[in-house]
Amino acid sequence: MKQLIRLTVNDREYEVGVDPNTTLVDLLRGHLGLTGTKKGCDLGDCGACTVLLDGKAVNSCLVLAVQAGDRTVQTIEGLETAQGLHPLQQAFIEKGAIQCGFCSSGMILSAKELLDRSPHPAEPEIRRAISGNLCRCTGYQKIIEAIKDAAR
Amino acid sequence: MILPKFEFHEPTSISDACELMARHRGEARLLAGGTDLLVNMKKKVLNPKRLVSLGRIPELTQVERSNGTLWIGAGATVSAIAASAMVARDASALGLGARALGTPLIRNLATIGGNIGSARPAADLPPALIVYGAVLVLRSVAGERRLPIGEFFKGPGLTAAHEDELIAAVVIQVPAGYAGAGYLNLGVRKAQDCNIVNVASYLELDGRAEVIRAARVALGSVGPTPLRSPSAEAVLIGQKPTEALFDLAADAAQRDCMPILDFRGSAEYRRDMVGVLARRTLTMALAEARSRN
Ligand SMILES: Cc1cc2nc3c(=O)[nH]c(=O)nc-3n(C[C@H](O)[C@H](O)[C@H](O)COP(=O)(O)OP(=O)(O)OC[C@H]3O[C@@H](n4cnc5c(N)ncnc54)[C@H](O)[C@@H]3O)c2cc1C
Ligand code: FES
Ligand code: FES
């Protein structure tokens, strides 16, 4: 039986009916059309599905949509403002930290959680913060440089 | 990967959760962070008819210290435990276990109750909890009972909890002066990895005379449950802490484990690493004990 939930995604309120076995990543991508969040392994291993749930970076493939009811979700689509791209997004472009882009939403959101909590992190802190996000093409060095750049 | 269908409940108090678990005894499972359970459901290892979520029960997430005990609600996330200054000071080995678990993304979801409840032999939090002598507060409609964590694990995925019982909290007696602990885990990578071996040690010294009054060593990933090492503990108690003594204790710990061979490592390698990690965690425990007086 579908359950009616209310949640805030990128500052917009939604009211949706979901089956209990729908995951948050499927709600975002399939029902709300927010396909910037990627789905790789669907098992918590790759971090492609990373979103911020009440400000904390989590694997949205391991959260039920119903568990996100009455909570606040931020996805990659919510980072750009009227002033333009988020400094992290800009730095990823400038430092060549994106190739196929499949890991980028997750990388950027993990980095955002870090910078929100610790605006000038040391490199080991950056490496730790993205240790749940796998990249199969760029290599991590440029990603780390981009995050350092955004923190400057 | 499609999750099997289930009925979903979200109680807002521990007693309502107990009520639901009793009413649906045998067909309901507790859902905390979901990082173990949802993976098992996606892989079709488990197929519960109902899930009772603990995610909206504020009384389950408390972490507080009173009268020399540390009370950690079962719903406390691993990241909250990793970040807690109180845990770092009063139960440092637990803090190390929390920092070693999974990835930042997993730690933001995973709970201490789920780490214990899943009863994985390689789990990161049980060894430290065992050496601190932690006690589990179990709740059901029948009331509350307390069980030392060492009596809780019965085998991979198997526990002493009744079908309708939940872990409400973990209670640790804050170690006295001249007591300390250490925890180390060995995997193939630093993050996102299942442990090959993980060990926690605890030492309590007899004040300045520096005789070991109490010693506990717990070994993970080398048996069907986390194991105490009675032989290592017997070697240590009543002696002065020296490197030579820790070598003897490490050898004894190797005799108490029952490692298996799998793709992560051979049984021989695991047994050797039990010795290495036992020696190193004893050294950590001694350093902390000397600094806490
Ligand atoms: C990518 C990945 C990496 C991981 N790495 C590690 C690691 O390095 N170290 C490690 O130890 N684990 C690891 N895990 C396993 C898992 O994340 C942890 O065991 C976690 O602590 C489980 O907690 P949870 O709250 O998510 O539990 P859930 O998945 O919600 O529950 C797990 C089990 O415990 C039961 N349960 C939950 N809460 C309670 C309660 N209060 N009382 C009684 N029973 C309860 C549930 O019914 C279920 O059977 C990893 C998992 C993933 C997906
Ligand atoms: S899709 Fe969620 S972690 Fe891989
Ligand atoms: S850019 Fe392709 S996976 Fe990272």
**A37 and A55 housed in the same domain:** yes
Q: Read off the pTM.
A: 0.97
The pLDDT tens digits for A45-59 are 999 999 999 999 999
Pairing assessment for the beta strands A72-74 and A3-9 based on DSSP bridges: parallel
Instruction: CATH number of the domain at A126, please.
Output: 1.10.150.120
The ranges of chain B with pLDDT < 70 are 190-193
Distance B97 CA to ligand 1 centre (A): 14
User: Among all residues of chain B, which has the CA nearest to that of A49?
Assistant: B105
CA angle A92, A94, A96 (to 5 degrees): 65
Interface confidence (ipTM) of the complex = 0.97
C-alpha A56, offset from chain centre: 10
Check CB contact of B4 with chain A, cutoff 8 Å: yes
Q: Do residues B116 and B167 touch, judged by C-beta distance below 8 A? A: yes
Distance (Å) from CA B194 to ligand 1 centroid = 13
Report strand pairing: B143-148 vs B135-140.
Answer: antiparallel
Structural domain containing residue B17: 7-52
Residues A7 and A66 in one domain: yes
**CB contact at 8 A, B33 and B112:** no
A64: left (phi over 0), alpha (psi -120 to 50) or beta: beta
CATH number of the domain where residue B72 is located: 3.30.465.10
| One domain for residues B138 and B44 | no
d(CA B51, CA A42): 20
For A2-44, write each residue's pLDDT tens digit. 999 999 999 999 999 999 999 999 999 999 999 999 999 999 9
Q: Are residues B100 and B146 in the same domain?
A: yes
How many domains, chain A? 2
Token code pair at residue B117: 């409840």
Residues A74 and A7 both lie in one domain: yes
Considering the domain architecture, whether residues A53 and A71 belong to the same structural domain is answered as yes
Q: Are B183 and B200 in contact (CB under 8 A)?
A: yes
Structure tokens that stand for B136 in this block:
């589990």
Q: Are residues B186 and B169 in the same domain?
A: no
What would the mean pLDDT of A109-115 be, rounded to a whole number? 98
My answer on whether A11 and A73 are in the same domain is yes
For residue A113, the chain B residues in CB contact (below 8 A) are 104
Which tokens go with B196? 């090959």
Same domain, A32 and A55: yes
Last residue of a domain, one of A51, A78, A105: A78
> What CATH number corresponds to the domain at position B219?
3.30.390.50
Asked if the Cβ–Cβ distance from A131 to B1 is below 8 Å, we say no
Do A47 and A100 fall within a single domain? Answer: no
Q: Where residue B39 sits, what CATH number does that domain have?
A: 3.30.43
Give the mean pLDDT of A91-102.
97
Output the residue whose Cα is nearest ligand 1's atom 18: B115
Distance CA B9, CA B75 (A): 16
| Cα–Cα distance measured from residue B201 to residue B284, given in angstroms and rounded to the nearest whole number | 8
Tell me which residue has its CA closest to atom 3 in ligand 2. A44
> Which pLDDT belongs to residue B191?
66
Distance of alpha carbon A89 from alpha carbon B226, whole angstroms: 44
Q: Is A38 in the pocket of ligand 2 (CB under 6 A)?
A: no
C-beta neighbour count of B25 within 10 angstroms: 13
Who contacts B263 (Cβ-Cβ below 8 Å, separation ≥6)?
none
Which of B105, B111, B192 would best serve as a mutation to test chain A binding (most A beta carbons within 10 A)?
Answer: B105
Q: Are residues B43 and B64 in the same domain?
A: no
According to the model, what pLDDT value does residue B209 have? 84
Percent above pLDDT 90 for chain A: 97
Please indicate, yes or no, if residue B42 is contained in any of the structural domains: yes
pLDDT of residue B190: 67
Cα B161 from Cα B145, distance rounded (Å): 10
Say yes or no to pLDDT of A139 above 90: no
Phi, psi (degrees; rounded to nearest 5) at B40: -65, -35
Task: Find the ligand nearest to B167 CA.
Answer: 1
Same domain, A96 and A144: yes
| C-alpha to C-alpha distance for B284 and B203, rounded to whole angstroms | 10
The parent domain of residue A65 ranges over 3-78
Q: Which tokens hold the place of A18?
A: 């979901």
The pLDDT score that the predictor gives to residue B261 is 77
Mutate to test the pocket of ligand 1, among B3, B106, B130, B264 (most ligand atoms within 8 A of CB): B106
